Structure 1
Amino acid sequence: MIVSITRLHLRSVRSLPAFTRLTLQSHRQIHKTSGLLRTSYRKEGLLTYWTMSIWESEEQLRTFRNNGAHLEAMKRSRQLADELQYIRFSTETVKLDWRMCKEKLHQKYRVTNNKCS
């Protein structure tokens, strides 16, 4: 199984309407995509958003990522966000906790600059 964790920090509250629309469209898409085992979302404050999705395979994750509403959201993300982070890793369980996933992502980005250009 493949886990995808993302963290996005919006540039400003003015980004919220477009972000919300794109998120709702992606949410509808993800639940129609084959291979999804679990999805979860978290919010920190007004501008920081996290996603976790667990997939049967890397191929099924790529199918979701590279199509439809999610592809459109990725294209717009650099306009809406000033920080974008992600990590993917293999797992044997769908019972992952957010604390561990957040720490895994933070470890990846501790030594890199994660600001959008």
Structure 2
Amino acid sequence: MTLISVTRLRVRSIRFLPAFLWYSFKSNEQAKGAQGNLASTVRAAGSNVFWTMTVWEDEAAMRSFMRSGSHKEAMPKLQNWCDEASVVHWQSESVTLPSWKEAETAMFTSGRFSSLTHPSIAHQNHQFQ
């Protein structure tokens, strides 16, 4: 069994976009080289919304990545940069990335909302815009 991890982030202002994009690039490169990472991808979805999707050998590998390098540096900044942030994880038999449709369905039905400094009204109400 592998672990699928999906995040959805909305940057609350274009003034945070350059730094956000830099850390996103660095974190994605870090993920691609991380021990236990089987696949990694990102996408922009309009209105300053960005998604990440990774496949891990196990939860320990994902957590090791999460707590190191550029990803570790970016995580506290996201609380201020984003007005929406959510994550969903699930177990899979596959070692490949699921479709974005499957990732969206999992997020919209089972996603967990992160604590943010400046959450949108939708985020406060545990809704997606």
Deviation (angstroms), 1:28 = 2.2
Native 8 Å contact 2:38 2:54 kept in 1: yes
Letter in 1 for 2:101: R
**For residue 7 of structure 2, what is the amino acid of its counterpart?**
T
Kindly report the root-mean-square deviation, in angstroms, between the aligned alpha carbons of the 2 structures: 1.7
Counterpart Cα distance in 2 of 1:56 and 1:84: 24
TM-score normalised per structure 1:
0.90
Structure 1: which 5+ runs fail to align?
A: none
Deviations 1:49-69 (A, max 9, x none): 000000011110001001111
Residue 95 (structure 1) shift? 4.5
Match of 1:28 in 2: 29
What is the CA distance between 1:16 and its match in structure 2? 0.5
Partner of 2:126: none
Structure 2: give runs of 5+ residues left out of the alignment.
Answer: 118-129
Q: 1:25: Cα distance to partner?
A: 1.6
Contact persistence 2:80–2:116 (CA under 8 A) = no
Aligned residues: 115
Residue aligned with 1:15, SS: helix
1:13 has 2:14 as partner: yes
Post-superposition shift, 1:43?
A: 1.0
Counterparts of 1:38-49 in structure 2, within 5 Å, are 38-49=39-50
State percent identity of aligned pairs.
30
- CA distance in 2 between counterparts of 1:88 and 1:57 reads 11
Q: More relative contact order in 1 or in 2 (CA 8 Å, sep 6+)?
A: 1
